[in-house]
Amino acid sequence: MKDVAARAGVGLKTVSRVVNEEAGVTPDTVARVQAAIEALGFRRNDSARLLRTRRTSSIGLVLEDLADPFYAPLSRAVEDVARAHGALLFTGSSAEDPRREQELVLAFCARRVDGLIVVPASDDHRYLSPEIEAGVATVFVDRPAGRLDADVVLTDNAGGVRDGVAHLIAHGHRRIGFIGDQPGIHTAAERLRGYREAMAAANLPVSNAWYAMGPTTPERVRASIDAMLSGPEPVTALLAGNNRVTVTAVRVLSGLTRPVALVGFDDFELADLLSPPVTVVAQDAPGLGRTAAQLLFRRLDGMASDAPTRTELPARLIPRGSGEIPPAS
């Protein structure tokens, strides 16, 4: 910038003014400066600029896995909102590891992002308090923050599962299985709650053998399904607690001769082309991202100190067939 000033024969500040398109510079001078900028291939150093202005125009997004088909559209929605507000996006995957989440969050804070959107992997976010007090707007999405009062945008997980289970009950099922993610994960616990509530609402007992929580590896899911289908009171229908469980469930069930009804949580591409087409409870992944990002920017634009809010987006049952299979007699 110094070089540009020298070449254009003007002061440093005048160059700054031109670069920022501030008013109050003679067109003639502007032209001279522009020419110098062009000639020298000058590009403003935003790092320095942001050091001075104390706004980085960037936000950090921490989620579980950028490559997960559920989170990818969420990120994209966040990105779109960020772009509309002229902000760039740092992304990072926590891989469900609390330490990695914290590392990422703190690294983003050290870069002085204006705000954070976090899909929590840990259940204790008190480490974030100093940052939030220091002015980093923070919105949690998909799962609430642990031990911290902060904005959160969620799907109505329990409600979604209730609808799914009610759908199965409506088609005659009484022994319904639920296969969820690790019980420590908030969404997994909520979905289990929805399952219990729906069963209770229909006055159906729930055997301990009918629900299983744990890692969503194909092996574990397969084992859980096998167990549920082979016990003394085998289930006639399954509710798969998330997209990865659903995929494995579809695979396992397709290998059986006995038909088993299935409702999956989270929609997925081509679900309608499988046989039978897979009924799902769909979350609005882009909606979660968009809502969270919009809230974040509203915080940045002034409503910084209002009380934290909690937004819940509905889940939507999409009947396609696999939930309408009648119970095997």
Binding of a second copy at residue 2 (CB under 8 A)? no
Burial grade of 196 (CB within 10 A; 0-12, 13-18, 19 or more) = middle
Q: Are 267 and 315 in contact (CB under 8 A)?
A: no
Please tell me the distance from the alpha carbon of residue 206 to that of residue 201, in angstroms, as a whole number.
12
Is residue 43 at the binding interface for a second copy, with CB under 8 A as the rule?
A: yes
Q: How far apart are CA 122 and CA 260, in angstroms?
A: 35
Q: Hey, what long-range contacts does 184-188 have (CB within 8 A, 24 or more apart)? A: 184/123, 185/96, 185/143, 186/120, 186/143, 186/144, 187/142, 187/143, 187/155, 187/157, 187/242, 188/213, 188/241, 188/242
Nearer to DNA, 2 or 258 (CB): 2
Q: Does 126 bind a second copy (CB under 8 A)?
A: no
Stretch that binds DNA, among 49-57, 84-92, 196-204, 226-234 (CB under 7 A): 49-57
CB of 37 to DNA, least distance (A): 10
Q: Pick from 7, 90, 204, 308 the residue near a second copy by CB under 8 A.
A: 90
Listed ranges 8-16, 87-95, 191-199, 296-304: which one lies at the site for a second copy (CB under 8 A): 87-95
The CA–CA distances, whole Å, from 110 to 105, 106, 114, 134 equal 9, 6, 11, 12
Considering only the stretches 14-22, 212-220, 278-286, 289-297, report the one whose residues sit in contact with DNA under the rule CB under 7 A: 14-22
Does residue number 58 form part of the binding site for a second copy (CB under 8 A)?
yes
Residue 130 contacts a second copy per CB under 8 A: yes
Compute how many residues bind a second copy; rule: CB under 8 A. Answer: 49
Stretch that binds a second copy, among 154-162, 202-210, 270-278, 300-308 (CB under 8 A): 270-278
Q: Is 34 in the site for DNA (CB under 7 A)?
A: no
Are residues 240 and 249 in contact, defined by beta-carbon separation less than 8 angstroms?
yes
Q: Which of 119, 157, 100, 135 is nearest to 289 (CA)?
A: 119
Least distance to a second copy, CB of residue 168, Å: 21
Determine, following the binding rule CB under 7 A, whether residue 209 of this chain makes contact with DNA.
no
Cβ neighbours of 326 (radius 10 Å): 12
| Least Cβ distance, residue 76 to a second copy (angstroms) | 4
Question: What is the contact surface with DNA in residues (CB under 7 A)?
Answer: 1-2, 5, 9-14, 16-17, 19-20, 23-26, 28-29, 42-45, 48-49, 51-54
